[in-house]
Amino acid sequence: MKDGPPGGDDDAVVPGRYPAGVDNQWQTRTFERLNTPVDRFVGDKTAKAFAQLRVHTVGDLLRHVPRRYLAGTENSDLTDLPIGEDLAVMAIVDSVQVAGQSPRRRVEAVLTDGRGRLSVTFFGKDYLVKFWVGLLSGRPRGIFVGRVGEFNNRPQLTHPKFVLFDERGNPTGKSDQSDLVASVSRSGLVGIYPAVKAVQTWTISATIAMVLEQVADDLVEPLPEWVLESEQLPTMLEAFQDVHLPDTRERAERGIERLLFDEALALQLAMAQRRSQAAQDPAAVMQHRPGGLLDALDQRLPFTLTPGQQQVCDEIFTELAREHPMQRLLQGEVGSGKTVVATRAMTRAIDAGYQAALLAPTEVLATQHADTLRGLLGDLGDGQVLGAPEQATKVVLLTGSMPAAARKQALLDIASGEAGIVIGTHALLGDQVQFANLGLVIVDEQHRFGVEQRAVLGAKAELRPHVLVMTATPIPRSVAMTVFGDLETSTLREIPAGRSEVQTTVVDATRHPAWVSRAWERITEEVAAGRQAFVVCSRISKTQTDTDPFDQLESDEAMPDPVGVEELAEQLATGPLRGTRVAVLHGRMSAEEKADTMTAFAAGEVDVLVSTTVIEVGVDVPNASMMVVMDADRFGISQLHQLRGRIGRGSHAGVCLLVSHAPPGSPAARRLAAVARSRDGFALAEEDLAARREGNILGSSQAGTRSSLRLLRVLEHLPIIEASRTIAARLVTQDPHLENPYLADMVRQTELLAAGDWLEKG
Ligand code: ADP
Ligand code: MG
């Protein structure tokens, strides 16, 4: 094998093999070929039809893989044919005859696979009828491909395409179906492709076979040999050939492995590049300062850290003391005590002379964080006022709805550096916010903030700040490695001692309406015992239009309209909960009203809070012991788990009632049963993910986007994702700027998944 420019010396090109030496021209040629629009090969109409299948380029086309393979004898069960499906059967023509009168003559043949029989009909002019009868006489064996129709209540193929074989199993050439001949591999395996009306499976396979033949010479293996060796993968060209024209099923599967690997690798390359970038950037070095703010805080913590908190803090401190920015994800169940961890990290930053920012997704949460931190810090958080401890810093809150004067003061404190701890919502990302010396950014409930927002905050600092992302939604490992693949992960698994049980029960409101009344009685009992309750609705009012994705999913189940916060609060206050103090909370209220209501609830001035999911994240009212979720069937597993985390935070056992109209056995009923069964957030997250199908979660089916994920399923393909992660890290070490144009293109085409789209929904 020689090096040489593409198209030069003929024997320099060994199709499918990587030429000796790394020569970017080969890879350029490969990726240019793969990026050629399909309309260079097919007519406009076909190209449009392919677009419906998200096939725009040659690369897309070659990665459009059969959803299954039919191999004559093993799959042609003629006894049980699904009407309306595309089908390929290997069968013998048992009989053939002409029926009807000219000009309505037709050929009627019967196929058999030895078990069942299937009738096949062709209509046509006399000469065609004669031609077909000639071909099909003498009990030939062949593959017949078509859509199964119905005639006289029996399955039938009308005008199937077919290829006949001679005794040795070679196509006879008498078939006059060049499309199909091309799509049947030597072995007789027929790939059945995901298809649409305008391009059916055999057109797809014929197009692929044609295109593959034309571009094969240009498909030089873009990955280094060692990758293929270490993962035992076929070359890209072999993979395409094996997937589309397989000799054996094993080869087809091996080909698909390779395509899967490439998808996983593209994602992981993007992540590896980000990590390596971060690893090179300088960052503030934050050493421990004996006698500083952190030590002072530790002395007044009202509890001892759990071993898990201790360990996570150590991980964080080690990284803060390095010269490169920390990029860490901290996941911990609701109530696992992430806030203390965050607070300790922030005080460490302040001890090193930097500011720390805490980003929260909502005003309610930002406000609550500010209160919590001020509570933990006491006079350590009041700033350098007269008589304050010398380590004291100022905790400043910045939200969008603050009055102008307070806002101005906050901005000043942030700019002067007087505020060591800055807590806020998106407002922190605004242009007017200037930090004196930002060194650490903590993002709570990451899924509402994308990578871009992290970058905006990063740009407000001279050195790239350390980043800690906290999420209460447990993230399965495979997802953590893809969606949050640029972050290292820490996990808090245990809940601090003193937590109480939460008993979760599904209340079937359709079959047992009386149980719902019982739920209200139960609330009055809790309130009489001095406790508080949440009632959660899926919408604000009856008239609200619904955009919840689960509504659409299950719209065919006849379900009553969901109840709204406003109506229900009214009904409860004047009916079953008369005498208790009921308040409402929802997104249509002003930030101030919301904050006031939350404060009143936290202070025990409200007994029952009827709300939408605005209470979802992070809200901490230890005295709340009961939650009733109305129309719980409209919520996703993770969301319900999050909601339920609002209770059982104090010493009182919690009760969570999931009121549902979902019919037994429905997907919604199964989701609710899962939530009732388990309080293990990690297990629930896995179920949630499985229930929602990762394809959608990662946005690959979002209209208009061209995601590179065609085959990869994040949950199913963990081993491939892990392997590709290791390989990606090595590739990026060897080629930090991705000068290999194919790899660079792979990354470019990988739309970086907006972190947490998958968490956001339902
Ligand atoms: P998260 O943000 O992870 O949901 P929080 O940080 O709000 O959890 O902690 C939940 C509650 O547990 C808070 O009231 C907090 O004061 C308390 N807590 C945190 N750590 C401990 C601990 N080590 N021992 C006892 N209580 C703790
Ligand atoms: Mg929290």
**Dihedral sign of CA atoms 385, 386, 387, 391 in order:** positive
User: 148: how many CB neighbours lie within 10 A of its CB?
Assistant: 18
Which pair of structure tokens corresponds to residue 280?
A: 């090179």
Q: How far is the CA of 565 from the centre of ligand 2 (A)?
A: 25
The C-alpha atoms of residue 341 and residue 354 are separated, in whole angstroms, by: 17
Name the closest-CA residue to atom 19, ligand 1.
Answer: 337
* pTM, two decimal places: 0.64
335 lines ligand 1 (CB under 6 A): yes
175 lines ligand 1 (CB under 6 A): no
Please tell me the predicted confidence (pLDDT) of residue 522. 94
Tell me which residue of 140, 42, 49 sits closest to 90, measured CA to CA: 140
Tell which atom from ligand 1 comes closest to the C-alpha of 305.
23
Please tell me the predicted confidence (pLDDT) of residue 353. 94
Mean pLDDT in residue range 45-60: 90
Please tell me the predicted confidence (pLDDT) of residue 656. 95
Q: How far is the CA of 52 from the centre of ligand 2 (A)?
A: 43
pLDDT tens string 688-738: 766 665 433 333 333 223 344 667 766 667 788 889 999 999 999 888 888
Q: Following CA atoms 435, 436, 439, 442 in sequence, which dihedral angle do they give, to the nearest 10 degrees? A: -30
Enumerate helices (H) and strands (E) in the chain, giving the number of each. 28, 21
Q: Which ligand is nearest to the CA of 304?
A: 1
The C-alpha atoms of residue 263 and residue 330 are separated, in whole angstroms, by: 27
339 lines ligand 1 (CB under 6 A): yes
Please tell me the predicted confidence (pLDDT) of residue 54. 85
Tell me which residue of 243, 82, 73, 79 sits closest to 143, measured CA to CA: 73
499 lines ligand 1 (CB under 6 A): no
602 lines ligand 1 (CB under 6 A): no
Q: Which helix (H) or strand (E) holds 453?
A: helix 451-458
Q: Which ligand is nearest to the CA of 492?
A: 1
Q: How far is the CA of 340 from the centre of ligand 1 (A)?
A: 7
Mean pLDDT in residue range 278-303: 92
Terminal Cα-to-Cα distance of the chain (whole angstroms): 55
Q: Which ligand is nearest to the CA of 362?
A: 2
Q: Is the pLDDT of residue 753 over 60?
A: no
348 lines ligand 1 (CB under 6 A): no
Q: How far is the CA of 260 from the centre of ligand 2 (A)?
A: 37
474 lines ligand 1 (CB under 6 A): no
Tell which atom from ligand 1 comes closest to the C-alpha of 306.
23
Please tell me the predicted confidence (pLDDT) of residue 676. 92
306 lines ligand 1 (CB under 6 A): yes
Tell which atom from ligand 1 comes closest to the C-alpha of 341.
6
% of the chain surpassing 70 pLDDT: 82
309 lines ligand 1 (CB under 6 A): yes
Ligand 1 mutation pick, 331, 336, 445, max ligand atoms within 8 A of CB:
336
The C-alpha atoms of residue 21 and residue 8 are separated, in whole angstroms, by: 16
Q: Is the pLDDT of residue 469 over 50?
A: yes
681 lines ligand 1 (CB under 6 A): no
pLDDT tens string 216-250: 988 888 888 999 999 999 999 999 999 998 888 88
- Among 11-15, 108-112, 224-228, 720-724, the least confident range: 11-15
305 lines ligand 1 (CB under 6 A): yes
Please tell me the predicted confidence (pLDDT) of residue 452. 61
Bigger pLDDT: 69 vs 12: 69
What residue has token string 């994920």? 709
Going by the DSSP 8-state scheme, the letter that residue 123 receives in this structure is: E
Please tell me the predicted confidence (pLDDT) of residue 714. 65
Encode burial over 456-482: b for 16+ CB neighbours within 10 A, e otherwise.
bbbebbebbbbbbbbbbbbbbbbbbbb
Q: How far is the CA of 491 from the centre of ligand 2 (A)?
A: 14
Bigger pLDDT: 212 vs 587: 212
Report for 186-190, 408-412, 650-654: range of highest mean pLDDT? 408-412
Going by the DSSP 8-state scheme, the letter that residue 739 receives in this structure is: -
Q: How far is the CA of 650 from the centre of ligand 2 (A)?
A: 15
User: 233: how many CB neighbours lie within 10 A of its CB?
Assistant: 22
343 lines ligand 1 (CB under 6 A): no
Bigger pLDDT: 739 vs 445: 739
Encode burial over 492-524: b for 16+ CB neighbours within 10 A, e otherwise.
beebbeebeebebebbbbeeeeeebeebbeebb
Q: How far is the CA of 230 from the centre of ligand 2 (A)?
A: 43
Q: Is the pLDDT of residue 468 over 60?
A: yes
Q: Is the pLDDT of residue 6 over 90?
A: no
pLDDT tens string 475-512: 777 677 776 777 888 888 877 766 678 899 999 998 88
Cα–chain-centroid distance for residue 597?
Answer: 34
The C-alpha atoms of residue 178 and residue 213 are separated, in whole angstroms, by: 15
Please tell me the predicted confidence (pLDDT) of residue 616. 52
Which pair of structure tokens corresponds to residue 136?
A: 């099909």
Tell which atom from ligand 1 comes closest to the C-alpha of 376.
16
Q: How far is the CA of 468 from the centre of ligand 1 (A)?
A: 18
Q: Which ligand is nearest to the CA of 361?
A: 2
458 lines ligand 1 (CB under 6 A): no
Residues 6+ apart with CB under 8 A from 515: 507, 508, 509
Please tell me the predicted confidence (pLDDT) of residue 755. 36
Q: How far is the CA of 309 from the centre of ligand 1 (A)?
A: 10
Residues 6+ apart with CB under 8 A from 324: 278, 279, 280, 281, 282, 283
332 lines ligand 1 (CB under 6 A): yes
CA distances from 52 to 38, 84, 194, 392 (A): 13, 20, 11, 61
Q: Is the pLDDT of residue 424 over 70?
A: yes
Q: Which ligand is nearest to the CA of 445?
A: 2
Q: Which ligand is nearest to the CA of 341?
A: 1
Averaged pLDDT score across all residues of the chain = 81
- Among 154-158, 482-486, 545-549, the least confident range: 545-549
313 lines ligand 1 (CB under 6 A): no
pLDDT tens string 605-643: 999 999 998 765 556 788 999 999 999 999 888 888 888
Name the closest-CA residue to atom 18, ligand 1.
Answer: 337
Going by the DSSP 8-state scheme, the letter that residue 43 receives in this structure is: -
CA distances from 761 to 325, 359, 535, 704 (A): 31, 21, 21, 19
342 lines ligand 1 (CB under 6 A): no
Mean pLDDT in residue range 387-398: 88
Mean pLDDT in residue range 86-94: 81
Question: Which band of pLDDT confidence, cut at 50, 70 and 90, is reported for residue 120?
Answer: very high
Q: Residue type for 5, please?
A: P
Name the closest-CA residue to atom 15, ligand 1.
Answer: 337
Which residues sit opposite 441 in a β-bridge?
357, 467
Please tell me the predicted confidence (pLDDT) of residue 547. 39
Q: How far is the CA of 281 from the centre of ligand 1 (A)?
A: 33
Tell me which residue of 390, 372, 393, 370 sits closest to 382, measured CA to CA: 393
The C-alpha atoms of residue 274 and residue 464 are separated, in whole angstroms, by: 13
Q: What are the backbone angles phi and psi of residue 300, rounded to the nearest 5°?
A: -105, 5
338 lines ligand 1 (CB under 6 A): yes
Q: Which ligand is nearest to the CA of 373?
A: 1
Tell which atom from ligand 1 comes closest to the C-alpha of 303.
24
473 lines ligand 1 (CB under 6 A): no
Cα–chain-centroid distance for residue 526?
Answer: 39
336 lines ligand 1 (CB under 6 A): yes
337 lines ligand 1 (CB under 6 A): yes
Q: Is the pLDDT of residue 169 over 90?
A: no
Q: Is the pLDDT of residue 759 over 80?
A: no
Give the 3-state DSSP-derived string for 151-186, with helices as H, strands as E and coil as C: ECCEEEEECCEEEEECCCCCECCCCCCHHHHHHECC
- Among 372-381, 538-547, 675-684, 753-762, the least confident range: 753-762
Please tell me the predicted confidence (pLDDT) of residue 250. 87
Q: How far is the CA of 336 from the centre of ligand 1 (A)?
A: 6
